[in-house]
Amino acid sequence: MTGPRVVLVGSMGAGKTTVGEALAQRWGVGFRDTDEDVVATAGRPIADIFVTDGEEHFRALERAAVAAALAEHDGVLALGGGAVVDPGTRAALAGRTVVFLQVGLAEAVQRVGLGSSRPMLLGNVRGRIKTLLDERTPVYTEVASLVVDTDGIGPAEVAALIDARLEQARA
Ligand SMILES: Nc1ncnc2c1ncn2[C@@H]1O[C@H](COP(=O)(O)OP(=O)(O)O)[C@@H](O)[C@H]1O
Ligand SMILES: O=C(O)C1=C[C@@H](OP(=O)(O)O)[C@@H](O)[C@H](O)C1
Ligand SMILES: [Mg+2]
């Protein structure tokens, strides 16, 4: 199957964007992030899309961005944390190399910060991340062909670990 060399999924704060950039650099391939594609299409930040048009509208833009990226991009692809909640997106990931970047609650909160601008975390960052981790961890696990625990290791090390684990899996 053509398409991205690897797709990164996982919670907000798992490091999909940061590790994805590091991995693309390591491999000398392009990097794409569906959040960036949505922002470019809408011409405004994610928080503005949520405020003005609501989450449903964001999810529709995200669904289209994921479908386009899966069809067009052959490098590293990072999804937004909620993209895999869509059943069509999950089906489109079947048979692809999908890495679930796992992060524990405490470290996810530390990474995104208590004053996060991510609209899904408004109100109580720790409580919202806990709820989303509980709801979505089974979904991330379902779509993943590889699970990498990122707690306590920096982005460059996570990228190196993904590289090594994928190499191992190919051998
Ligand atoms: N493995 C890691 N160790 C420490 N900090 C990290 C790690 N991965 C990401 N970060 C930091 O956490 C924050 C969120 O990372 P980001 O890549 O935006 O996550 P995601 O795209 O999964 O929401 C950023 O400030 C980033 O620098
Ligand atoms: O988990 C979510 O529902 C979201 C995650 C965000 O992406 P990151 O996971 O890259 O932070 C972004 O798509 C949006 O704020 C919603
Ligand atoms: Mg991201």
Domain 6-166 architecture:
3-Layer(aba) Sandwich (3.40)
State the pLDDT at residue 131.
97
Task: State the pLDDT confidence band at 132, using cuts at 50, 70 and 90.
Answer: very high
Interface confidence (ipTM) of the complex: 0.99
Annotated binding site for substrate: 35, 59, 81, 136
Ligand 1 site, residue 69, Cβ cutoff 6 A: no
Tell me the C-alpha distance between 66 and 71, whole Å.
9
Write a three-state SS string for 103-134: CCHHHHHHHHCCCCCCHHHCCCHHHHHHHHHH
Ligand 1 site, residue 148, Cβ cutoff 6 A: no
Ligand 1 test: best mutation among 18, 34, 128, 148, most atoms within 8 Å of CB?
A: 18
State the pLDDT at residue 33.
98
**Mean per-residue pLDDT, 35-61:** 97
For 80-131, the pLDDT digits (tens) are 999 999 999 999 999 999 999 999 999 999 999 876 689 999 889 999 999 9
State the pLDDT at residue 114.
74
Take atom 15 of ligand 2 and give the residue whose Cα is closest.
118
Annotated binding site for ATP: 13-18, 118
pTM (whole model) above 0.80 = yes
